[in-house]
Structure 1
Amino acid sequence: MRTSIATVCLSGSLTEKLTAASRAGFDGVEIFENDLLASPLAPEEIRARCADLGLTIDLYQPMRDVEALPEEEFARALRRARHKFETMRRLGADTVLVCSSVSPHTLDDDALAAEQLGRLADLAQDHGVRVAYEALAWGRHISTYDHAWRVVEAADHPALGTCLDSFHILSRGSDPKGIEDIPGEKIFFLQLADAPLLAMDVLQWSRHYRCFPGQGGFDVAGLLRHVMRAGYDGPLSLEVFNDVFRQSEAGPTAVDARRSLLVLQEQVGLVAPPAPAVPTGVAFAELVTPDAAPVSAVLGALGFARTARHRGKPVDLWQRGDARVLVNTGPAERRDGTRLATIGLESPDPAGAARRAETLLAPVLPRRRARGDALLEAVAAPDGTELFFCATERPGLPDWRADFENVGGAGPDAGDEGGWRIDHLSLTQPWHQFDEAALFHRAVLGLRSQGSVDVADPYGLLRSRAVSTDDGAVRIVLTVGAAPIDDTAHAQHIALATDDVVAAARDHRAAGGELLPIPANYYDDLAARYEFADGELETYRELGILYDRDEHGTFRHCYTLTIGRVFFELVQRDGGYRGYGAPNAPVRLAAQHTVRGFTGG
């Protein structure tokens, strides 16, 4: 099906919005009236610009407070409509959105509403325009899609149909199954938006918190199935009011929007991109740093050994058990402090994973390869993190480790390493890409997304959301601060799993490593909440180990100090614990502030 996007979804001038929509691959646009009024271009110039960009103008919107009015008020509405229809003729738009009235003059009279909408449709038809009538969720008398349809049906005019909006329908809890009773040819337009499930005034909810399909809590795919069964064959159009999108660069937002529609179409069977090649583990995490010494010191104290070096690049491989960390000291232009830059994901089908990523508009990364280097597929996540699809020790597929030469410091045998592996990775997201990142990791990588969690930081709030495989072999925590200033303020981290976190913490200290000190008050509270074996709590207090439990098991964890933007976490999961120690995050964040004046993430 054709795809469209309302210009209100994007930031910038109307010209910038149209360019972004075209480059993202949309077929058409809805022109929002405010964008037209603020544009220096005449309607004819906008029409020509859209044609040059390969865009159709699918809807002009909105027209408000038209129906069920006293005659004098309705006469003024018709006068306004004549001017708008003439503007639409100049634009080359043939469908106008009319929202159910919120005017205090509007009467609770369906018959009058139908009669006046019919007269409006007469005028529209004279100008070659169709009227798509939509129920606003906060409409004064008409606020549900089925009520709006009954009025349209009563008017019985060929130039009058209904517009269905997923937000207005789902935010009221209406049953979308009734959509199937509307003739497909009378559904003139379909607008799609998701939203987080919030308990707040529906108007504020709509104006500030909508998001693209798949980024909220609504069953947009279920609604679309009902619309398709009704026989609708018009465009799938996004209409999203969102404060973050209005402040973000239009180009990436348009790509995010287009990806959301591709995923939605996949859910309902309209398109069939390559199936997800769900990763089976973490092959490596790569740190980029201007100075390898501090990172190497921490890794050494954690029991890692430097086992290999890349044949042509300044990259060292450090390993303990199945946990592998690459330390990259170049190139110079990337020396902006130690950071987690790349994740290697074990994939059952690296080429298939890359094809799906590319189909869903993820940038495929060109790789500078020396002769003999393994050919690895790689894409960029929304935050710029490079994702490599690896097949370590998979017969017939390139093994990334072939690019490295052994340096003689063979690491400990993996079988004797007490379960050491990468448990999870925490990635700080730009403040405006949190929802995009969650959709990307779910849609492109096939990971399951958990609910968003707010964590108190001494200087604000952090939001985090975990995405993972069903078996927990891959876990990624996406974190974002509450404002643009937080973009670079929160650290990333690598969580290392071990079967004995107490022994690991003691060994780290014995090797000269430092662990994040935790306030004594935390352990006083822990004693009040849980019972421990003799001496257990004292051990945790001594080593700075934090504790949590859920219905599945227990979680013990501690932290190294931060290097640049990165720190390490040692974790021990017992009994099937599924979380990430979120109740302890405020304590950890405050402790990091105390140690470094640094906001961890």
Structure 2
Amino acid sequence: MKTSMATVCISGTLADKLHACAEAGFDGVEIFEPDLLAAPESPEEIAALAGRLGLSLDLYQPMRDVEGVDDEAFAAVLRRADAKFRLMRRLGIDLVLCCSNVATATIDDDTVSADQLRRLGDLAAGYGIRIAFEALAWGRFIDDYRRAWRIVELADHPAVGVCLDSFHILSRGHDPADIGGIPGEKIFFVQLADAPRLSMDVLSWSRHHRLFPGEGDFDLTDFTARIVDAGYTGPWSLEVFNDTFRQTDARRTARHARRSLRWLEDTVSRAMPDAPAELEMLPDSAAPSAVDFVEVKAEDTSGVEELLGQLGFTSRGRHRTKPVALWTAGKARVVLNEQHARGWDPRLAAIGLEVDDVEAVDLRMRELGVPRAYRRTYAAEERLDGAIAPDGTEVYWAQAADEGDPAWVREFEHGETELATEITGVDHVSLSQPWDAVEEATLFYTAGFALRVDSSTDVPGPQGLVASRVLVAPGGGVRLPLNVAPPILAAERAGVALPQHVAFVCADVRAVARAARERGFAPLEMPANYYDDIAARFALSEADVDELRDLHLGYDQDAAGEYLHFYTRTIGEVFFEFVERVDAYAGFGAGTAPVRLTAQGRR
């Protein structure tokens, strides 16, 4: 599978972009004309640099407004095209993207557009150049790939074919099934972009909100498979207009982009019974079944130890070779790490996931090219494989134990006898994301661990909306809400400005709250107005509401069940939540989140 990317996808100068694409492993690039115009290098120097980096120059783009015009305007089109074709010869590029007219079109006639593309093809052929005609989703007359293909058929010129762009086709809801009617040799180029489903004008949607494959709501697997079936053998190229990607480090974004194409290649090869040999599958993923552990790291973790003791966790001792402690309650395991943490306040530094095939996950992560996490392990200790998520969190995976504790727990010594507790395990781990990492993080967890996006919502807080996206594993054993702070908060702390938190599931959360209070625990206090609203919204008895108020419990219910929970106060950059799910409730108490955010802000 030959991979390519438009230089518009990433930040920097044209030379910077070429270096980033080469380092990420792309085979080629599309040259976006404004990048070339702003470059101090000559076209020959750009071509030479690409050659030294091992990159092919696959496409020059865009040439706009070339058809559907009167004779006088078309004469100007030919003069402009002649200059661009001579420029392309200097670059060594033999394919140009021509978009359907959005500005100067005055003639809505397929035969006129076809004749003009034919004449443009004659000019291009004299330079050894071909034309890939693309229907823009906001084209003046031509906004559907099927009409673009009819016009190319009418043009009947060997140098004129179509470019198929997933955004322009899928954003308009056009059925990709008719791609099968286009001969593969007339599909000159393919551009890929994902996107969230948004209700807005398609031009703004395209210019600001495209995503890399696997990060949005488009069915790119089906779209790409149809093009493969049609016999296309050219580059698979990313054309992603996104404000975030064009502001962040080019090398990181290019690696992110290449990973998305590798994921797409895998999904297409799995979806096609007779996939071409050049489409390679990734090693099978072993989706996690549960959270193995969470790790809080700080120079001094004594405050977290005190809190866990109040909440009914048991100290399982210190690690025999490292300044690390373990606290457990049921199958919930909290590692407290003071190693290499000078000056750190408590923060969630790592999570461990239980999987049924460690080697499969390891192979898949290596093939995806994710950065690996390293920890020194001595001969008698269990080795944990791990990767570094885009937000910096270390994510480890370990073989799920058939019963009892995992093997690594035996490395902790001089622990206490486990206390009886109503806490049974980890319900979910909320990971706060820097503004520029949430899309990359989504791909990291979906491509690497086969998690899926379950829901997305915006939670109002005292300083703006918190965007939350929930990822879940098949079977629901792992839930990872990814939260992005409002810009005002992100600016305050140059990235993650929301505390991370771990939610523990309980068989009886009221009992956990009462026992914790007897040990001196002080929960995050919820205001009286909140409980007045609960009494109004839900058919609870006065005694039930009084109990919730007394224990500072949050409450929610839906058609499937109920959700009861309480929060600890924040220590450093982390807090804990304790939840009880009644029946089949699958949410996260979204109605309580704004109240919690305000309460935390007051503190």
TM-score over 0.5 (shorter chain) = yes
Seen in structure 2, the aligned counterparts of structure 1 residues 403 and 15 have a Cα distance that, compared at 3 Å, is farther
Contact 1:392–1:399 at 8 Å: present in 2 too?
A: no
2:373 aligns with one of 340, 365, 374:
365
Between the aligned partners of 2:516 and 2:423, the Cα distance in structure 1 is 16
- Match in the other structure for 1:391: 399
Contact 2:297 2:341 in 1 (8 A): no
What SS does the corresponding residue of 1:573 show, helix, strand or coil?
strand
Do the aligned residues in 2 keep the contact of 1:65 with 1:99 (CA within 8 Å)?
Answer: yes
Contact 1:373–1:402, Cα closer than 8 Å, also in 2: no
Aligned with 2:158: secondary structure? coil
Q: How many percent of aligned residue pairs carry the same amino acid?
A: 51
Cα distance in structure 1, aligned partners of 2:250 and 2:203: 24
Give the CA deviation at 1:104.
Answer: 3.4
Are 1:104 and 2:108 matched, yes or no? no
- Does the alignment pair 1:342 with 2:346? no
Cα distance, 1:408 vs. partner? 3.6
TM-score, normalised via structure 2 length: 0.95
SS of residue paired to 2:521: coil
**Aligned residue in 1 for 2:482:** 478
Distance in 1 separating the partners of 2:571 and 2:253: 32
Q: 1:450 aligned to 2:454?
A: yes
5 Å-filtered alignment, 1:114-513, equals: 114-269=114-269, 270-332=279-341, 335-391=343-399, 393=401, 399-404=407-412, 406-412=413-419, 416-483=420-487, 484-485=490-491, 487-513=495-521
Moved more, 446-455 or 185-194: 446-455
Deviation (angstroms), 1:551: 2.2
* Contact 2:9–2:239 (8 Å) recurs in 1: yes
Say whether the 8 Å CA contact 1:494–1:567 is kept in structure 2. Answer: yes
Distance in 1 (alpha carbons) for counterparts of 2:461 and 2:198: 22
- CA–CA separation in structure 2 for the residues paired with 1:534 and 1:151: 71
Report SS of the residue matched to 2:591: helix
By how many angstroms is 1:320 displaced? 1.4
**8 Å contact from structure 1 (residues 419, 498) kept in 2:** yes
Would the aligned equivalents of 1:134 and 1:148 in 2 still touch at CA under 8 Å? yes
Q: SS of 1:450's equivalent?
A: strand
From 539, 543, 547, the equivalent of 1:535 is 543
Aligned residues: 589
> Match for 2:562 among 548, 554, 570?
554
The answer (yes or no) to whether the contact 1:354–1:364 under 8 Å persists in 2 is: no
Q: Given that residues 374 and 402 in structure 1 are in contact (C-alpha distance below 8 angstroms), is that contact kept between their aligned partners in structure 2? A: no
Q: For 2:593 and 2:232, locate their aligned partners in 1 and report how far apart those are by CA, in whole Å.
A: 48
- Contact 2:43/2:90 (<8 A) preserved: yes
Post-superposition Cα deviations, 1:346-393, rounded to whole Å, max 9, x if no partner, equal 111112211111111211223322332212211111111111111254
User: Residue in 2 aligned with 1:599?
Assistant: none
Residues 36-69 of structure 1, C-alpha deviation per residue, up to 9 Å, x if partnerless? 0111111111111111111101110000011121
Q: Which runs of 5+ in 1 are unaligned?
A: 597-601
Structure 2: distance between partners of 1:576 and 1:364: 37
1:11-26 to structure 2, matched below 5 A, reads: 11-26=11-26
Counterparts of 2:486 and 2:237, CA distance in 1: 29
The Cα of 1:550 is off from its aligned counterpart by 2.1
**How far 1:428 moved relative to its partner?**
0.8
8 A contact 2:433–2:496 mirrored in 1: no
Q: Is contact 2:329–2:423 with CA below 8 Å preserved after alignment?
A: no
Question: Post-superposition, which runs of at least 4 consecutive aligned residues in structure 1 deviate over 4 A?
Answer: none
Shift of 1:394: 5.2
1:525 aligns with 2:533: yes
Q: Once the 2 structures are TM-superposed, how far is the Cα of residue 84 of structure 1 from its aligned partner?
A: 0.8
Deviates more, 1:131-140 or 1:342-351: 342-351
d(CA) in 2 for partners of 1:290, 1:419 = 27
Report if aligned partners of 2:134, 2:145 keep a CA contact under 8 Å in 1: yes
- Please state whether the residue corresponding to 1:451 is helix, strand or coil: strand
Deviation for aligned residue 1:398: 8.2
The answer to whether the 8 Å contact 1:354/1:379 transfers is no
SS class of match (1:577): coil
Output the aligned Cα RMSD. Answer: 1.5
**Conserved? CA contact 2:213–2:264, under 8 Å:** yes
Native 8 Å contact 1:428 1:490 kept in 2? yes
**Higher mean Cα deviation, 479-488 or 41-50?**
479-488
Q: Does 1:53 align with 2:53?
A: yes
Preserved contact between residue 67 and residue 106 of structure 1 (Cα < 8 Å): no
CA distance in 2, matches of 1:455, 1:393: 37
Give the drift of 1:417.
2.8
CA distance in 1, matches of 2:345, 2:31: 44
- Number of the residue aligned with 2:272: none
Q: Could you tell me how far apart the structure 1 residues matched to 2:406 and 2:110 are?
A: 68
Partner secondary structure for residue 449 of structure 2 = coil
Separation of aligned partners in 2, 1:410 and 1:46: 68
- Amino acid aligned to 1:550: D
Q: CA deviation at 1:514?
A: 1.4
